[in-house]
Amino acid sequence: MKFNITILILSIVGIFDTSYLTIKRFTHKSVNCSVFEGCDFVTTSSYSAILGVPVAVLGIIFYVSVFALTLWYLKSKNKKVLMSILGLSGVGLLMSIWFVYTQAFILDAYCLYCLVSAGLSTTIFILSLIAVLKSKDTNITIDTQYETNN
């Protein structure tokens, strides 16, 4: 349960992070980046959109989806929903790996907000994997108890 509440909180942080980048993108304003100098370069590069859709917008969609699925899971305890969170967060992890690779080895510039998002999506994946594994342990325990009692 703690894992799912943490995922919920992390997805909210992700929504704020990617919303900030989206607003800056559409208002053509500079991204306030205190640690790195490459935020604007990264967020306006040719790698900052997929099929014309800004990556930040895709980030909002990702985090809102994780948030909604996590709420659904907390209400329903449906393990298929938990598996959906794991699958979605796996896609987020793979995308984050690509974007960090792009920043490091193609653009040679970093965006703090992009790295925060990569950290969030990675953490969400790890927590959802742990939640799935714990839910499977619960099934094994229940099945074992059932067999013992019969």
Residue 122: is its pLDDT beyond 60? Answer: yes
Cα 3 from Cα 59, distance rounded (Å): 21
The mean predicted confidence, pLDDT, of the chain is 90
Residue 19: is its pLDDT beyond 90? Answer: yes
Structural domains of the chain ordered from first start: 2-149 (1.20.1440.130)
Average pLDDT over residues 1-7: 86
Predicted local distance difference test score (pLDDT) of residue 137: 66
Amino acid at 44: T
Predicted local distance difference test score (pLDDT) of residue 140: 42
Residue 142: is its pLDDT beyond 50? Answer: no
Q: Residue 46 has which token pair? A: 């040719």
Integer-rounded Cα Rg, in Å, for the chain is 18
Model confidence, pTM: 0.88
pLDDT tens digit string along 29-50? 999 887 778 899 999 999 999 9
pLDDT tens digit string along 83-102? 999 999 999 999 999 999 99
Cα 112 from Cα 34, distance rounded (Å): 8
Residue 71: is its pLDDT beyond 70? Answer: yes
Which residues are registered as beta bridge partners of 53? Answer: 50
Q: Residue 15 has which token pair? A: 């929504």
DSSP H helical segments within 47-101, as ranges? 55-76, 79-101
Please measure the distance between the N-terminal and C-terminal CA atoms of the chain and give it in whole angstroms.
30
Cα 31 from Cα 93, distance rounded (Å): 24
